[in-house]
Structures are given as C-alpha cells and as structure tokens.
Amino acid sequence: EADIYQTPRYLVIGTGKKITLECSQTMGHDKMYWYQQDPGMELHLIHYSYGVNSTEKGDLSSESTVSRIRTEHFPLTLESARPSHTSQYLCASSAHSGYGYTFGSGTRLTVV
Amino acid sequence: ELKVEQNPLFLSMQEGKNYTIYCNYSTTSDRLYWYRQDPGKSLESLFVLLSNGAVKQEGRLMASLDTKARLSTLHITAAVHDLSATYFCAVVVSYSSYKLIFGSGTRLLVRP
C-alpha cells in the first residue's frame, strides 16, 4: 500500500488554466521532492523541500511553484498551463536520515 | 554540478544471456540507488548501495558500487522477458539536501 499519494493520476487541461498537483505522504518524512519526466526519459528534479516553510528550486528550471505548509503535504501549482508542460510529474519523500526514497504513482499531465 | 551517465541507453538482448549496465557519476558520493520503471508507471526501488565495494543481489540482478572509480554496475544474469523495463541509477548529491540525481536510464528489452 502506497504511503505517498498523488492526485490526480491523469489530467487533461486546456492552455492557460491554473492547476495544482497534489502530493501527500503519511510517513512523517522531512524531505519532499518533485521530479518531471517525459516519457521514457530521465527524471529531472524541479523542486525540493527540507521541511515546513522550506522550498528550493531544483536543477531543471520550471515555471511551477510549490508550497510546504504542512509536513505531509507538498502541492505543485502551474498558474497558466501550456503544452510545453505536458509531462509526468513524480513526487517523492525521504526521511531526515536520507535513507530510502519513496515515490508516488505520478500525475500524467497533458495540456491541449 | 553532479552528472550521472548511464550506458547503454538501450539494450536489446535474448533470454538467457548476461549483460551489464554501467552508471558513472562525476562527484563524490557514497550512496547510490537503482530503480526499475515499467512503461507509464512510477519507480520501483531495486537496490541501495551505501559504501565502497557494496554488492547486492536479488534474483537475476546484482548491483555493485566502486566509489573510488565513481562507478556502479547492474549485472543481469540469464535474462528473462519479465526483466524488460527501464532501469535508472540515481546518486545522492549531498547529505544536507539529499537530492537524488538520476541517470538517463537504460531501456532493456529481453527477447524470447
């Protein structure tokens, strides 16, 4: 049973819409991450968080934003979706010790 | 900036054969992960290698780590069709951020 949950699983949305991808974990992990992955390609880190009220941009520039108001919740928001945002978004978390990363099932986003 | 390189990027092999996937990384790290990803799915953790000389085996897969050479290998023994998937290595950048940086992945196809 998954301890990290992502919703929605699939999303098709029109250009210019605002969207929020949800990610929640029940393990009490301090660290959370968002990765972007095009089909069959490598995963790129776009955001990460050390803990509540702590967020940083990752190695791949992204127009999305994140927040971390509660330990268990790390949503990702796109203010104005574009076709170039079409991708799979994977959320992950790890404990303070950094041993063991748990990945969510992912959100497959299509912007038309 | 940490770079993680995998080769080959694509591997087509017959059932029953052996092969090795290589993962090179550019800066010091003694924590490396191997993941499996099936098409359209999230990541499945295979191995975590924590120290120089570490070797782990599960079924037909064996992973090793040489931190001095900055090299990890994933060896496949007597491949079967069920092993067809994409395999990623991922390296921890630093202990303060615990960012996982992924290689580009190796797409493995095992033919009957």
Place of tokens 């949950």: A5
In this complex, the residue of A35, A45, A98 whose CB is nearest that of residue B95 is: A98
Residue B28, pLDDT > 90, answer: no
Q: Which residues, in sequence order, are CB contacts of B102 under 8 Å at separation 6+?
A: A35, A42, A43, A44, B4, B88, B89, B90
For residue A87, give the DSSP letter: E
pLDDT in tens, B45-76: 999 998 888 899 999 999 999 989 999 999 99
pLDDT in tens, B73-89: 999 999 999 999 999 99
pLDDT bucket at B11, cuts 50 / 70 / 90:
very high
Place of tokens 């993962």: B23
- Say if A50 is an interface residue toward chain B (CB within 8 Å): yes
Give A-chain residues touching B86 at CB under 8 angstroms.
40
**Which of A18-27, A96-105, B30-39 has the weakest average pLDDT?**
A96-105
Per-residue confidence (pLDDT) for residue A40, from 0 to 100:
82
In this complex, the residue of B40, B45, B92 whose CB is nearest that of residue A98 is: B92
b/e for A9-37, b at 16 or more Cβ within 10 A? Answer: eebebeeeeebebebbbeeebbbbbbbbb
Nearest CA to CA, how far is A55 from chain B (Å)?
A: 11
Per-residue confidence (pLDDT) for residue A87, from 0 to 100:
96
How many whole angstroms separate alpha carbon B86 and alpha carbon A88?
15
DSSP B84-105: -EEEEEEEE--TTT--EEE---
**Which of A53-62, B4-13, B14-23, B80-89 has the weakest average pLDDT?**
A53-62
Nearest CA to CA, how far is A103 from chain B (Å)?
A: 6
pLDDT in tens, A48-76: 998 999 999 988 888 999 999 999 999 99
In this complex, the residue of B1, B97, B104 whose CB is nearest that of residue A42 is: B104
